[in-house]
């Protein structure tokens, strides 16, 4: 709902309070206390509706800000945009391997905008501060896990670029594990390609057997990526964040300012790691093409 701080009810003339039950005239947009609107029997400006009258926010009221994603108005104390679900008060982009996709305002994502309550004994506001721009997506996933009792929370980027996703989200151990599994399961295919290009002449097994092993490994890799990383990466990330937030709580020992600062500093994705990995993959590809004589 739009914030009406600094505005007054046209019927009782009393300023609106944050917890007031407010209704809005569907014709001109004038806000009222629900009780006042029903007592009045409608909008006090009804006689002006035919002329196209529209209620305007008074100049004395605090100005509303604009969502950097969709342009919707919001009050300064809001954390997420009520229209599209984008995080506010941040210059960081919404997209990336972390899974923060467009469409936060669709379906159950709107539930993530409620920062009241706790998840795993940690205030939801602290989760949002630590996770950063992708908070609406992940908080929604965590709430859905609690509601269903399941650990499944699909993340598209983790299903296809698992190692990059885990490193980007600062889950170093899972990033190393995913990278090693990718390397191991892609090895038979790499050996076949090297044999076809004349780089490798002595195969450990027959070419036909290596082809069968390569097919099996490719199938296993798909299962690991989609059935493992893709389906459970949100749960892995939940455990990771919970451990880190609790550690920050212990390190700051009740210092609210230091706690808030550490949440923002230690949380969020690692853009530097993402850039480094992309450069590494690009250089590796170029070196491979050069080795086989394509470049």
Domains with residue ranges and CATH for the chain? 1-62 (3.30.40), 93-295 (no CATH)
| C-alpha to C-alpha distance for 39 and 190, rounded to whole angstroms | 77
Rounded to an integer, the average pLDDT of 88-102 is 41
Rounded to an integer, the average pLDDT of 9-24 is 88
pLDDT at residue 81 greater than cutoff 70? no
Can you give the pLDDT at residue 114? Answer: 55
pLDDT at residue 44 greater than cutoff 50? yes
> Quick check: 74 and 88 in contact, CB under 8 A?
yes
Rounded to an integer, the average pLDDT of 83-109 is 43
Can you give the pLDDT at residue 116? Answer: 67
Can you give the pLDDT at residue 267? Answer: 86
- pTM flag (> 0.85): no
Pairing of strands 122-123, 118-119: antiparallel
């Amino acid at each position: 709902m739009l914030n009406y701080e600094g505005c007054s009810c046209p019927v009782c003339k009393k300023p609106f309070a944050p917890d007031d039950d407010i209704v809005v005239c569907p014709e001109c947009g004038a806000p009222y206390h629900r009780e006042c609107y029903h007592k009045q029997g409608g909008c006090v400006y009804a006689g002006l509706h035919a002329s196209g009258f529209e209620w305007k926010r008074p100049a004395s009221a605090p100005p509303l800000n604009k969502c950097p994603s969709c342009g919707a108005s919001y009050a300064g104390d809001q954390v997420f945009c009520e229209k599209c679900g984008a995080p506010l008060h941040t210059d960081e982009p919404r997209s990336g391997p972390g899974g923060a996709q467009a469409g936060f305002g669709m379906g159950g994502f709107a539930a993530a905008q409620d920062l009241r309550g706790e998840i795993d004994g940690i205030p939801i506001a602290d989760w949002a501060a630590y996770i950063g721009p992708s908070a609406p997506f992940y908080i929604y996933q965590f709430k859905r896990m609690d509601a269903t009792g399941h650990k499944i929370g699909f993340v598209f980027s983790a299903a296809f670029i698992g190692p990059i996703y885990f490193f980007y989200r600062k889950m170093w151990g899972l990033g190393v594990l995913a990278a090693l599994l990718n390397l191991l399961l892609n090895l038979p295919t790499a050996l076949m390609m090297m044999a076809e290009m004349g780089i490798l002449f002595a195969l450990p097994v027959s070419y036909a057997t290596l082809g069968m092993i390569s097919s099996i490994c490719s199938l296993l890799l798909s299962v690991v990526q989609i059935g493992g990383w893709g389906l459970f990466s949100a749960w892995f990330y939940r455990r990771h964040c919970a451990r880190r937030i609790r550690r920050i709580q212990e390190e700051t020992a009740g210092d609210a300012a230091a706690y808030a600062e550490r949440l923002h500093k230690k949380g969020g994705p690692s853009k530097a790691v993402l850039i480094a990995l992309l450069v590494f993959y690009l250089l590796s590809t170029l070196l491979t093409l050069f080795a086989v004589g394509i470049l």
